[in-house]
Amino acid sequence: MGFQFVGISKAEFLEEDAPRLEDWLKRSYQGKMSYMENHFDKRLDPTKLVPGAKTVVSLMYNYFTEEKQQDPEAPKISMYAHGEDYHYVIKDKLKSLLNFIQDEIGEVQGRCFVDSAPVMERSWAAKSGTGWIGKHSLLINKEAGSYFFLAELIIDLELESDGPIKDYCGTCTKCIDACPTDAIVGNQVVDASKCISYFTIELKDEIPTDMKGKFENWMFGCDICQEVCPWNRFSKKHQEPSFKASQALLEMKKQDWTELTEEVFRKLFKKSPVKRTKYKGLMRNIEFLD
């Protein structure tokens, strides 16, 4: 089905994550993302989210591409959003995988998750040994870097667990040093309310003026901490046709973006995660870069 890595964990309360999550919320690092404050118990205990759950299957799906927007002055879109919305593409694959398990084994109940419910996906992926959590708080795989979508099957089938692997970041601080808004405030801790991705995707209000000139031309998301990560020298091109960027998108010049009409926006981002900002939000971001 195209997943590159898979790991298995026992579905149980994430004891180490509880105080970290509590502290993160207490410091208001979630900014205006109030949904992060909801379902605290479900976020930490998959058996509360999926009754009868015994196992969390963590999967990784590559989205790395060498395709780039051709105009170096054009405002930039994060690599994950070049093609179709990953939520739908990967959810379909997860459903097929669950059906396959049911066909092979029999009565197995569970749910599929792709960044769509209160699931601590990086914690589960790290617990299952598919990688470790880097200083920038993203999951890094030793063989293939960090340009991955994470997904989970939480099922009532008992499987043998894999264990975590060690952290290979060492003394490297490239991601911390490169972040133009100083959003990485500690090891594996990101103050989301300072992150370019938060400002350009999640924040619905005006972008604070003290951030002016710090976005390094990112209009939707940001890949800076991944671009500088030495582990991403092992990234390989994805093989997913749905994630391929349209030629029209790659060829757009800076002027095309500043003059973007709502009609072109709808056409260009018909099945894209960029739709999340809506036309008005994307234009706000583009204007903020000037």
Q: Which residues are catalytic?
A: 115
CB 58 within 8 A of CB 150: yes
Phi-psi region of 19 (alpha: psi -120 to 50; beta: other; left: phi over 0): alpha
* Longest CA span, the chain: 58
205 CB burial (10 A radius; 0-12, 13-18, 19+): exposed
- The residues with which 76 forms a beta bridge, in sequence order, are 218
CB 158 within 8 A of CB 108: no
What distance in Å separates the CA atoms of residue 158 and residue 140, rounded to the nearest whole number? 27
Count the residues in the chain: 290
What distance in Å separates the CA atoms of residue 83 and residue 66, rounded to the nearest whole number? 13
Distance, first Cα to last Cα, the chain: 42
Torsion angle defined by CA atoms of residues 207, 212, 214 and 219, in that order, rounded to the nearest 10 degrees? 50
Give the list of residues 6+ apart from residue 152 with CB closer than 8 angstroms, or none.
Answer: 56, 57, 58, 59, 112, 113, 114, 119, 121, 124
Torsion angle defined by CA atoms of residues 284, 81, 64 and 11, in that order, rounded to the nearest 10 degrees? 110
What distance in Å separates the CA atoms of residue 182 and residue 191, rounded to the nearest whole number? 9
- The residues with which 139 forms a beta bridge, in sequence order, are 133
